[in-house]
Amino acid sequence: MVLILLEQAELTLRTGGMDAAISSVYGCSTEAVDPYRGRLLHVIDGYRTAFGRTDEIELFSAPGRTELGGNHTDHQHGNVLAASVNLDIVSCAAPNDSMVIRIQSEGYPADEVDLTDLTPHPEETNRTAALIRGVAAAAHKRGFEIKGFDAYMTSNVLSGSGLSSSAAYETIIGVMINRFFCGGELTAIDIAKIGQYAENIYFGKPCGLMDQMASSVGGIVAIDFQNEAEPKVQRISYDMHASEHSLCIIDTGGDHAELTSDYAAIPREMGEVAAAFGKTVLRDVPEADFVRSIPSLRRQLGDRAVLRAMHFFAENRRAVAEKEALEMGNFERFRQLVRRSGRSSAMYLQNVYTGVNPEHQDMSIALALAETILEGRGAVRVHGGGFAGTIQAFVPNDMVPYFKATIEAALGKDMCHILTIRPAGGVVLMTE
C-alpha cells in the first residue's frame, strides 16, 4: 500500500489533478467540482491541525442515501429501491502505528478506540465510538489484523434528515479499514454487512441493511431481502439527469422525540399479521391467503394492522415495478409509481402523523403544500420512517426555483434540499 504525501495531495487538488476523479464520484461535470475540491482541501487541513501530521495520507468518501421505493418493506424481508446522494462524509486518514483508532469529526469531541479490546462496551451505546469498535471487530472476525489510524472527517449529510448519516459513518470507517488493513479484499456488500453488525450489536440500534447497502454500493440499487442473510443487490443503470426532474428532500420541521412507539408499531403490527399465518414476516405469507382472511384478521388484530399489511403487499410489488421502470428508462412510469407509494404510505401504512398529537401534522402540511405547488406534475412521498422528518419530491427542473422558494416561505429557510444521485458508494478518493 502506497499513500500520498499530504503536501502532494494538496498540490494535486489545487492544480486540478483530481478533477476527473471527483467528477466521476459525484456525478458532476468537471466545471462543477469546486465545492467538492474545497471540502477535500478543508479536510486535509483539519487532519494536519488535529494530529500535527504532514506525512502520507489517503482521502475517503461515503455518501448519504435516499429511499426511492419500498417504504417500510425491508423489515418484512421485502424489496426496496435506494440510491446514494451527493451529500457525504469525507475523511483524511493514515495508519498511526498503534492499536488506537483516533477520529476527529469536525464539530464533535474526538473518539479514541483501543483495539486491544474489541468486545462491546455498554457505555458506548448510541455513541460513534461503538460504531468504530464494532466495524473493527467485525473486520477482525473475518480474519484481518486491524490496527490504529488517525482520521479527520467532516460531513454534510443532514442529521435526522432520513439520509442515513449513521450508515455513511459506518461505511467510511469500513472503507478506511479495508484500505489500510484488509488489502481491499472486503467488497462493498461486505462493508455494508459489517456496518449493520456494528449498529445492531455495538451501537444498540436494530436496523435493516438498506441504509448501509445504499451507502456502500452506491448509485441506484435494488435490494431483495427475502434471504436477509444474503440479500440480492442489483445496481440499476439510470441517469436521473435524463428525467429532467430534480430530487428534493424537504425537512418538515417535525420532532422525532417521543415517536419510538409509533415507529415500533409498524413492524410489530405487520409481524402480528404474519404470525396469524404461522410466519415471522409478511414476505412469507401468500397475498391471496391474506386477502381471504381479511374479515377474521380485522376481528383479531384490528383494522390498522390489516391496512399496514395491505400496504406491504402493494409496496413490495411497486418497488420491483419502479426498478423495472428505471431499467427501461421510463421515468413517467416511475413517477406514477412514486405517487402511488406516497398515497399508500399516507392512507394505509399511516406513517404521516402520530395519533397521539393530531394537532401537530408537519409532514401532512409539507406533503399537501408540495402537491399543491406541483399541480399534478412531479411526485411527492413520505421519505424513510415517517411521522416526522423529511418528505421526498421529484420536481420538474423548470419548477425547482419556484418550488423551493414557496416551500421555504411556508416551512422556513434551507428546508428544501436539492440533491443529485451520485454514482459511487464508499470510495478511496486518492491513490498514488
- Amino acid identity of residue 41, one-letter, is L
Q: What is the CATH number of domain 241-419?
A: 3.30.70.890
Distance from C-alpha of 117 to C-alpha of 174, rounded to nearest angstrom: 18
Distance from C-alpha of 137 to C-alpha of 145, rounded to nearest angstrom: 10
Intervals of the chain under pLDDT 50:
432
Neighbours of 92 (CB within 10 A): 29
**Cβ(64)–Cβ(86) under 8 Å?**
no
Q: Quote the pLDDT of residue 11.
A: 95
Q: Using alpha carbons, select from 12, 17, 29, 167 the residue that is nearest to residue 87.
A: 167
DSSP-based three-state secondary structure for 113: strand
pTM for this prediction: 0.89
376's grid cell: 399534478
13's grid cell: 487538488
| Residue 65, C-beta contacts closer than 8 angstroms, at least 6 positions apart | 82, 83, 84, 85, 163, 164, 167, 168, 210, 211, 214, 215
Distance from C-alpha of 273 to C-alpha of 399, rounded to nearest angstrom: 42
Q: Quote the pLDDT of residue 383.
A: 86
Q: Quote the pLDDT of residue 432.
A: 47
Over 28-91, what HEC string results? CCHHHCHHHHHHHHHHHHHHHHHHCCCCEEEEEEEEEEEEEECCCCHHHCCEEEEEEEEEEEEE
Q: In this structure, which topology does domain 4-238+422-428 adopt according to CATH?
A: Ribosomal Protein S5; domain 2 (3.30.230)
Q: Quote the pLDDT of residue 356.
A: 78
Q: Given the DSSP bridges, would you call strands 4-5 and 56-69 parallel, antiparallel or unpaired?
A: antiparallel
Q: Quote the pLDDT of residue 204.
A: 86
Q: Given the DSSP bridges, would you call strands 379-382 and 220-224 parallel, antiparallel or unpaired?
A: unpaired
Distance from C-alpha of 377 to C-alpha of 332, rounded to nearest angstrom: 10
Q: Given the DSSP bridges, would you call strands 100-105 and 149-155 parallel, antiparallel or unpaired?
A: parallel
Q: Domain ranges in the chain?
A: 4-238+422-428, 241-419
Distance from C-alpha of 184 to C-alpha of 59, rounded to nearest angstrom: 15
- The pLDDT tens digits of the residues spanning 375-421 come to 999 999 998 888 888 899 999 999 999 999 999 999 999 999 999 99
- Amino acid identity of residue 218, one-letter, is G
Distance from C-alpha of 28 to C-alpha of 36, rounded to nearest angstrom: 10
